[in-house]
Amino acid sequence: MASPATLNLGSSIPVPSVKEIASQPLLAVPHRYLRDADGDYPTAGDSSLQVPVLDMARLLDPQFHEFELQKLHDACKNWGIFQLTGHEVCDESVKSMHRKTEEFFDLSPEVKKLYAQKSGSLEGYGQAFVISEDQKLEWCDMIFLKAIPVHARKLEFWPEQQPHQFREALHAYSHDMRKIASSIIGFIAMALGLDAKTLSKAFEGGSYDVRMNCYPPCPEPERVIGISSHADISGITLLTDCGDIPGLQVLKDGQWVFIEPITNSIVVNVGIIMEVVSNGIYKAPYHRAAVNRKKDRFSIVTFCYPDGKFEIKPSEQLINSESVALYKSLTYDEYMQSFYERTKLSDDGIPFIDTLKV
């Protein structure tokens, strides 16, 4: 069977760069971006709700550990997303990756196209999952790169001379994200009553895919969407905002809530793999990105996966006579294949998580 690194994970039809569209004087937003008809456009969020904030330093401190772990459990159960402060990731490595991301999207269209997605691969510069010429488009340019394991890298898609030292920055950044992911996964395991070491190890040896997003300003932000509502298929996802412009929204009890960027924090969200492992106790939340009228917003999203031997199934420790397994057991490859097979088809309206139910 193909290793996770060599699986063909879908492809995307090339579409115009949103940054190029937005750089011209725009009288109206092109039709393919307007969301008025399908309702997937950013209505005002509920400002009274606030995404939980967790402090890594307190999770590590014996004095506060129990309290913070309970907070983590509640956050994963009730929200599926939280902001993480007090982590030990080097501020300089994150800032450097933020600079390189902005510099990349600021390059000329000709240079960026050197790294454009190719047929049969999702990696590279472009947009994800455009499968038909009349599909609605997202107000977002992105570059998607597999960063860890190192042997899975397709360097042809990695910007080389410009931005200067982009590759070094992404190498350091992805390793920092791996460190945080395996540590936070250990705490998530503890909060669920599972073996922290086993899960941490699975993520230490796992895959890390990085997606850098650029959301250019839009003259009619309320009629477009940066990224449509979705749940991530990862184990967990780590997002850093390159500035202080809000854009990420999460669906909480039927309301879209903005996540206000906190300097030096990392947004952590539960992915579908951990929803399955937790047997549905934790939820992979629906989220999306709104865009704004004034400024480019940039985000860096790291999708964290366990190693290829990890079985994607409800943890046996959570199954007993009162709590039956809600999801099937799949190998890592079967799980990835079943997701990417679905992206090639037109949307049947069935959430991916529902296809995994027993």
Per CB under 5 A, the list member of 176, 232, 241, 275 interacting with Fe ion is: 232
Judge contact between 116 and 14, C-beta under 8 A. Answer: yes
Distance, in Å, from the CA atom of 50 to the CA atom of 11, rounded to the nearest integer, reads: 36
Could you tell me which of 304, 235, 238 has the C-alpha nearest to residue 272? 235
Q: Which is nearer to ligand AKG, 73 or 287 (CB)?
A: 287
User: Which of the listed partners (Fe ion, ligand AKG, none) does 289 bind, with a CB threshold of 5 to 8 Å by partner kind?
Assistant: ligand AKG
Q: Give SS3 for 318.
A: helix
Nearest distance from C-beta of residue 85 to ligand AKG, angstroms: 18
User: Which of the listed partners (Fe ion, ligand AKG, none) does 277 bind, with a CB threshold of 5 to 8 Å by partner kind?
Assistant: none
What does the block give as tokens for 92?
A: 């300089």
Q: Which is nearer to Fe ion, 163 or 335 (CB)?
A: 335
CA distances from 260 to 177, 244, 284 (A): 21, 8, 19
- At 279, give phi and psi (nearest 5°): 55, 40
Q: Residue 313: count other Cβ atoms within 10 Å of its Cβ.
A: 18
Judge contact between 343 and 131, C-beta under 8 A. Answer: yes
- Residues in Cβ contact with 340 at an 8 Å cutoff, skipping those fewer than 6 apart: 7, 8, 9, 10
For Fe ion, the nearest residue by Cβ is 232
Nearest distance from C-beta of residue 59 to Fe ion, angstroms: 24
Per CB under 6 A, the list member of 98, 100, 287, 313 interacting with ligand AKG is: 287
Q: Is 289 in the site for ligand AKG (CB under 6 A)?
A: yes
Q: Which is nearer to ligand AKG, 189 or 256 (CB)?
A: 256
User: Which of the listed partners (ligand AKG, Fe ion, none) does 211 bind, with a CB threshold of 5 to 8 Å by partner kind?
Assistant: ligand AKG
Q: Which is nearer to ligand AKG, 171 or 288 (CB)?
A: 288
The site for Fe ion, by CB under 5 A, has a size of 1
User: Which of the listed partners (Fe ion, ligand AKG, none) does 299 bind, with a CB threshold of 5 to 8 Å by partner kind?
Assistant: ligand AKG
Nearest distance from C-beta of residue 234 to Fe ion, angstroms: 8
Distance, in Å, from the CA atom of 20 to the CA atom of 24, rounded to the nearest integer, reads: 7
Residue type, 19: K
CA triplet 338, 183, 149: central angle to 5 degrees?
Answer: 50
- At 56, give phi and psi (nearest 5°): -60, -35
Q: Which is nearer to ligand AKG, 186 or 247 (CB)?
A: 247
CA distances from 211 to 83, 171, 187, 201, 344 (A): 19, 13, 25, 23, 20
Nearest distance from C-beta of residue 237 to Fe ion, angstroms: 6
Sequence length of the chain is 358
- Footprint on residues 92-111 left by ligand AKG (CB under 6 A): none
Q: Which is nearer to ligand AKG, 250 or 281 (CB)?
A: 250
Nearest distance from C-beta of residue 184 to ligand AKG, angstroms: 17
User: Which of the listed partners (ligand AKG, Fe ion, none) does 216 bind, with a CB threshold of 5 to 8 Å by partner kind?
Assistant: none
Per CB under 6 A, the list member of 213, 278, 279, 315 interacting with ligand AKG is: 213
Q: Is 17 in the site for ligand AKG (CB under 6 A)?
A: no
The site for ligand AKG, by CB under 6 A, has a size of 10
Only segment of 25-33, 208-216, 225-233, 288-296 that touches Fe ion (CB under 5 A):
225-233
- Footprint on residues 245-284 left by ligand AKG (CB under 6 A): 247-248
Q: Is 112 in the site for ligand AKG (CB under 6 A)?
A: no
Beta strand ranges found along the chain (DSSP E): 53-55, 81-85, 124-126, 141-148, 207-215, 227-230, 236-241, 248-252, 255-258, 266-270, 287-289, 297-305
Residues at the contact surface with ligand AKG, assessed by CB under 6 A? 211, 213, 227, 232, 247-248, 287, 289, 299, 301
Residues at the contact surface with Fe ion, assessed by CB under 5 A? 232
